[in-house]
Every structure is written in C-alpha cells, then in structure tokens.
A and B are shown apart, each in its own frame.
Chain A
C-alpha cells in the first residue's frame, strides 16, 4: 500500500512537469504572443523592444526561459522576501504572480468547500430519493428539476439570483457580490457566499443526482442485494449498507475531480458573476490580457489540485473497494 501511494505521488510530479511544458510551448506558438512588443506599448521603437527583451530575458533560448520561470515559481512558493530576480512577474502589470494567486485562494477555497458540501449532500439526497421512487411521480418531478438545474448556465442563474435576491431594493436579502474574509467577519463571509455556493452547486446537484440514481438502480439488481434481502434485512438497511456503499464509489471519483477543478480556479463563471476575487477570477482576467506568467501560474496551481485529488481518489478507492486494493 505504501509503495502504491509513493508511486502515485511520483506520478503526480511527472504530470505536473508535463503540464508546465505544454502550457509554456502553447504560449510560444500562439500568434501575437510576443511579450516584448506587448510590454513596450503601442508605438515602441525597435531599440525599446530589444531592451525589454534583454531585461526580461526573452532573448534567451526558450528552455532557459522555461527554467527561469519554473525557478521563480518555486522560490515564490518559499516563505520570506525574495529579491526581484526571484519573483515571477506579470508581463502586463508586473505584479507578483504567486502573490496574486495566494491572494485569491481564500475566496476560492471558501467557495469550493461550501459549495462542495452542498452539492455532495444534495446530490446524494436527490439520487437516493429519485432511485427509491423510481418510475413514480416523485422521481419524475425530481428528475425534471434536476434536468432544469443541469440546463441552467451559471452566468445566467448567477445574474438572475443576484438581480432578484440581492439587487432589488425591496428585498435585498443578500449582499450584492463581493467577498468578505472569514477572519474579518464570519457572518458577513457566510452571507456573501451563500448565493455563489448554491448557484455553483445547482449544476452538480442535478448531475450527481442523475448519476447516483442510475448507479443505485443498477446496484439494486445485483445478486448480493437479493442475498441481503433474503437474509431478512430491512429495506432501509439493504439500501444503506448494501446498495449505497457500492453505488457511491463512482460518485467519489466524480466528486474528487469536480472539487479539485473548482478548487483549482475552475469556477471562473461563478467567481466572475459574484465578483469573488478568487483564483478563477484572476485567471479569467489574465487570460484576456494574454499574460503568460499568471496563466502559467494558475494552470500549474489548478493542475496541482487535479493531480493531487486524483491521487487521493485512487488511494481512497482502494479503501472503498477491497477488490482493487494492491496486494
């Protein structure tokens, strides 16, 4: 088991390396991406561009540039003050990329953890309820609601909820966007997040509910469920112990990857609609400016969580399903 975990985490590092190379190469190939002429402004003199190239190291071979960028990401993660040669700067506004990402993390983490708990809980509820009432009116109703939930785009739902629940002067039940740190005021933090949590969770709830429903209906026909019923177990126990345990295993994978994606800055729409200045918001802004270092930073940051969580899922899987436990 330990060897399995170690192997899994070494694989993680390899994947991160590959991701960083790919992002870097894509940027070099992208047309109009020459950072020197962008930094130099609208009407630069050729000399100006050459100077900027020299100053930023764009005249060096790309592998040196790559190495430098990675080195700066690495030192940026270390605590303490760094000299200006060790700081990964935005080409656009020259801010410290690692700092900016760190600044966005509390909002992104708050959004993800809250929404994740909501969508996991309600996704399981929806799945179980529609599975045990399968084919009856309750199931049809839940299914319809779930499909509506899946079909509502986040930017639309976000704006609608903001408009009706936060902006209307007659009932401003919720704050109108923005983020308040938990440490500043837990109540305000909660009030600011509750709309984004639900808006982000709605899609996942519908989706998880559908997946779990069909998993449960598959599992219910398994022979071991018949065995459990033939033992004389109550329907509740058959469902909770023999059906759910087996049908939740695939949901664990889904949850791990979705959670990691949102944690890694994937909730760009939600963060933007609700003006939560998280990592996703930062990424969206920098992508618009074709600003390589932040894109690189956010991509690595996001990839880190995806890879980390898929490793965690693999390990968790082995605990949940003894059949795939390495001997």
Chain B
C-alpha cells in the first residue's frame, strides 16, 4: 500500500432540524492509502453519503455541526476555511455522484463542464483544457470524443454521462476519488463496466478510491477494505475477503443474504432485513441494529464498541455475540431461513 492519504477520526455530523438533531454520522473512523479502494456499504440513511460529502465540506451549513477530524495529507479538512477547501475540492479530492442523468448541467455542453473544472484549478489556456478534455473522454471510453465533447448531456446515454462524470472527476488528477453510488442509476450491464473503469483509472492516475454503495456485490470485485455502516456508525470493518467469507455482524449477514446469487438453490426467496432503518433523531438504546436483529439478546441493550473480536486478522465489528456463535448463526441468516420464518 502507498502513502497514507486520508485519516478520518471519530467523525460526527449532526443536522439541526425542527424535530431535533439528526445524527447522520456518529463516530466514523477509517484510513485510506494511495492505490487503495475502500468500500463503504450500507442502507439509505446509514450516513455513507454524508460522510463523503463532509470530507469535501459539501454538508457545511448553518444547521450542521461537526466533530472529529478528516485529515488529508496532514491537514484537517473539517477545520479548513472554505476558501482553501475549494482548492482541494475537485482538484485533490474529486467526487462522482449517484445519478448521472441529473448530475450534469443540462444547459451546458459536456466538454465545457469538464473544461470548467480544469480551468478552476489549473493555470492553463482554454485550448489546452479542451484538448485534455477530449483526451479524458477518450480514456473513459467515450467513442468519438473530439465530436462528443460538444454534445449536451441529454445527447449522452446514462452510462456515457457517468463516464463523463468520471472524466470530470479525474480532470485535475485527484489523489482521492469518491464515488457515491456511481452505478445505482445505471443498467446492470453498464454497472460492471463503470466499476471496472474506476478501478483501472485509479491505477492509471495513481489515486485512491472510496466507493460508496448499498450493494455489496458492487464492491465485491474491486475493494480492498470494506466498511459497513448502519445508523451513522461503522458496524463492521475489515479486508474484503474477510467481510465476504467471515462476516461478523448480523447486519452484514442481512446485506449478504439480500444479494441474488447463482450458487444458491433455485426457488428460494431472496432474504431481506426485516423492519426499517431507525430514525436518526430517535435512535434505539444499546445496539442500533437490535430492533431488527434476529439474534438480539439481553446484552444488546448496551451498545457494543467497534473492536477486533476475530483473532486471526484485523477485522472489527460491533456485536456482542461470540465469534463462535456468529459462525453458527450466520449461515442460516444469509440463506434466508430466519427471514422466511
């Protein structure tokens, strides 16, 4: 692994609303090294996107409160003044978003929107910026880029727009690329292409990637490390293989069980996690997953800490069950018997 790029320490983000404080992110910690792909996985409202947007200061508002640190190359981005943070945004840390259909401005040419990103951060001429834009479009796999550069977003398909967004994000050669559900709005056939493209360009551009998704299947190929989030917290964190083959948290089991797989017997129902994510204003006591957890027991009334419970390797989780109990219980959960019962 390369140099340490990012260190998020005990990050907390709260939004003050009329109904109370929404604790969208509560004590998230992770590190990111150059060349690494970190997958952040969780349901809607688990705090993944807020975590990502906060790194870029995009959640700053008069009703938002922050705690903790986001250290990028030795500087705390949370404490950085807006003016300096703008130099980081799009330049050193770039982001691509969920819905490529709406993430490009419909009234400007695709190329001009990428040129704008280059001109914002680099002291180059318009012509150079345009040449680079064409080259970027070529690298993200847009056919006939020297013509398509003058197209408007509505003339691009969804997959092409996401490619253009990736080109825009990479236009200033960022250290970190944050991809927030980059494939959610795309056809399944396009999803794999986009993920592969991000993975490949990460090596070409020597960056690190944070891949945010609700679909463990999306990160299965490319992530090195996976962070599972629930109710603004990290509930499990470990190397990809460990998360997939030895998952420790019942929530992760639920996520794994809800992926359709070809190697399971036909005819069975796809498992789902019962219930709804908790309100972030009024969180349950103790373990936040307790009300939905099929294996909750009396100890869960106390909130478990994020700790390494597996002995063999570094794999953190927030669950009171012993490792042996978990290994017994999870097969059933992932196969969906609990959900069917």
Contact = CB atoms under 8 A, between A and B. Distances in A.
A81 interface: no
A227 B120 contact: no
Contacts of A323: 106, 152, 154
B117 A223 contact: no
B99 interface: yes
B149 interface: no
A222 interface: yes
B117 A231 contact: yes
A232 B120 contact: yes
Interface stretch (B81-89, B134-142, B275-283, B333-341): B81-89
A246 B102 CA distance: 13
A323 B102 CA distance: 13
A284 interface: no
A226 B88 contact: no
A224 B94 CA distance: 14
B105 A224 contact: yes
B103 interface: yes
Interface residues of B, number: 28
Contacts of B107: 245-246, 320-322
Nearest to B104: A224
Contacts of A223: 97-99, 102-103
Nearest to A322: B152
B246 interface: no
Contacts of B103: 223-224, 226-227
Contacts of A229: 58, 89
Given A229-B58, A230-B89, A242 B105 contact: yes
Contact of B105 (A232, A234, A246): A246
Contact of B154 (A226, A241, A320, A322): A322
B338 to A, nearest CB: 38
Interface string A206-237: 00000000000000001110111111111000
Nearest to A327: B155
Nearest to B82: A235
B207 interface: no
B152 A230 contact: no
Contacts of B51: none
Interface in B141-182: 152, 154, 165, 168
A254 to B, nearest CB: 18
B303 interface: no
B95 interface: yes
Contacts of A224: 102-106
Given A223-B103, A226-B97, A231 B152 contact: no
Nearest to A222: B102
Contact of A228 (B87, B105, B106, B165): B105
Interface in A236-276: 241-242, 245-246
A308 to B, nearest CB: 25
Nearest to B109: A322
Best-surrounded residue of B89, B99, B107, B117 (most CB of chain A within 10 A)? B107
B121 interface: yes
A230 B95 contact: yes
A220 B139 CA distance: 31
A321 B106 contact: yes
A245 B116 CA distance: 16
Interface in B312-329: none
A232 B86 contact: yes
Nearest to A225: B105
Contact of A231 (B90, B106, B154): B90
A323 B156 CA distance: 12
B152 A232 contact: no
Contacts of B168: 227, 231
B56 interface: yes
B91 interface: yes
A230 B94 contact: yes
A227 B56 contact: no
A275 B131 CA distance: 62
A3 to B, nearest CB: 20
Nearest to A323: B154
A313 B265 CA distance: 62
Which 10 residue pairs spanning A and B have beta carbons closest together?
A: A232-B90, A232-B89, A231-B90, A223-B102, A224-B105, A322-B152, A223-B103, A231-B117, A230-B95, A232-B86
21 contacts: A222-B102, A223-B103, A224-B103, A224-B105, A226-B58, A226-B103, A227-B97, A227-B105, A227-B113, A228-B105, A231-B116, A231-B117, A231-B120, A232-B86, A232-B117, A233-B90, A241-B116, A245-B105, A246-B106, A246-B107, A321-B106
